[in-house]
Structure 1
Amino acid sequence: MRNVTLEKLFVHPIVQKYVGRSGIAHAISVAEKAFYIAKDTDENPDLAAKAGFLHDIGHYKWYENGEWNFELYKENDIHAIKGAARAHKLLVRCGEDLQDAKAIALAILLHTDSYLPEGKLELSPLQQIVARADEADEEPGGAHHYRIIDYQPALERIKRLDIKIDNLNESKNLEHTS
C-alpha cells in the first residue's frame, strides 16, 4: 500500500504552483517514462514515477528584459537543489515513508549535472532512471517546459499511472506470496 499517490501530489497546491511553473506536461511525461524504465529494470516504479513527476519542482524562470533567457538559465540554474529540498518537505508532509522521501529527493537532486563540478558521480539506479527519463523528454531550448496540457487530461494521465503502479505492485505481491 502506497502512502502517497501521484494523484495526491498532483492536486496539492504546492505542486500545482511549482511544477506548473516548469511544465505539468513535461512532469507527467517524465513520470511516465521513469515508470517504464523502472519497470523494465526491476526498480521501484512508484519512487521513479514520483521523482520523475517532481524532478523540476525547484525551477525558477530566468528572464531578461521580460523574455525567457535559456542561456542565462543554463549558466546559473540550481533548480535541482531547490527542488530536492522542496520535494522532500512536501513528501514528508503528505505522509510518504521517510526513506522513500529521501530517495526521491536525492534522485531529484541528481537528475541533472548542470550545476555540478566536472567529474563522474556514482548514481543509484533510481537517480539514473530519473536522469534518463528527463533527458528522453527534453526539447531544444527548453521547449519541453512550455508544452501545454489542460488540467483534466493531466489528472487522467496521473490517475492511469497510479493504476499502473498499483497493478504492478499487486502482481509483484502475488508473485511473492505464491
Structure 2
Amino acid sequence: MRKVTLSQLFQHELVQKYLNRSGVVHAISTAYHAFSLAKQHGVNPDLATKAALLHDIGHYTWYTDGKWDYALYKENDIHAIKGAERAHKLLIELGEDPRDAKEIALAILLHTDSYLPEGQLQLLPLQQVVALADEADEEPGGLHHYRQLDYSTACSRIKNLDRWVDAYYAAANLKHSV
C-alpha cells in the first residue's frame, strides 16, 4: 500500500510553489514518462512517478533584466541538490517510508549531471528511469518549463496517474496471490 500519493504531493503548498516556478506541465509529463519507463525497466512505478513529479522542485529562477537567462541557469544551477533536499523533507513529513523517501531523493539528485564535473555517472535503475523521463520531455533552451496548464486539469492528470499506479499494484498483487 502506498503511504503517500501523487495527489497528496501535488496539492501540497510547497510542491505547488516550486512546480509553478519550474513547470507544472513538465513535472506531470515527466511523471507519465517515468510510469511507462518504470514498467519497461522493472522499476517501482510509485517511486519513479514521485521522483519524476518532484525532480525540478529545487529550481531557482535565473533572470537578467527581467528575462529568463538560460545561460546563467546552465552555468550556476544546482537545482537537483536543492530539490533532493526539499523532496526528502516533504516526503518524510507526509509519512513516506524513510527508505523510499531516500531512494526518491537520490533519483532527484541524480536526474541531471549538469551541476557535476565532467564524467559518467553510474545510475541505479530508478535514477536512470527518472533521468530518461526528464530527457523525454525536454525542449531546447528550457522551454519545457513554460508550458501552461490550469490547476483543475493538472489535478485530473495527477489523479489519473495515481489510478494507473494503484492498478499496477493491484495487478501485481493478483499475480502473486494466484
TM-score normalised by structure 1 residue count = 0.99
**Correspondence 1:117-136 to 2 at 5 A:** 117-136=117-136
| 2:10 aligned residue | 10
| 2:142 aligned residue | 142
Distance (whole Å) between structure 2 residues aligned to residue 80 and residue 49 of structure 1: 16
| 2:54 aligned residue | 54
**Correspondence 1:108-119 to 2 at 5 A:** 108-119=108-119
Counterpart amino acid of residue 114 in structure 2:
S
- Residue 121 of structure 1 and its aligned partner are, at CA, apart by 1.5
| 1:78 aligned residue | 78
- Residue 119 of structure 1 and its aligned partner are, at CA, apart by 1.4
**Which runs of 5 or more residues in structure 2 are unaligned?**
none
Distance (whole Å) between structure 2 residues aligned to residue 74 and residue 40 of structure 1: 31
Distance (whole Å) between structure 1 residues aligned to residue 30 and residue 92 of structure 2: 22
Distance (whole Å) between structure 2 residues aligned to residue 20 and residue 128 of structure 1: 25
SS in 1 for 2:7: helix
Distance (whole Å) between structure 1 residues aligned to residue 28 and residue 130 of structure 2: 12
Distance (whole Å) between structure 2 residues aligned to residue 43 and residue 30 of structure 1: 15
Superposed CA RMSD in Å reads 0.6
- Residue 36 of structure 1 and its aligned partner are, at CA, apart by 0.5
Runs of 4+ that moved beyond 2 A: none
- Residue 165 of structure 1 and its aligned partner are, at CA, apart by 0.2
Distance (whole Å) between structure 1 residues aligned to residue 64 and residue 123 of structure 2: 34
The count of residues paired between Structure 1 and Structure 2 equals: 178
**Correspondence 1:153-172 to 2 at 5 A:** 153-172=153-172
- Residue 23 of structure 1 and its aligned partner are, at CA, apart by 0.5
**Which runs of 5 or more residues in structure 1 are unaligned?**
none
Distance (whole Å) between structure 1 residues aligned to residue 20 and residue 102 of structure 2: 23
Counterpart amino acid of residue 67 in structure 1:
K
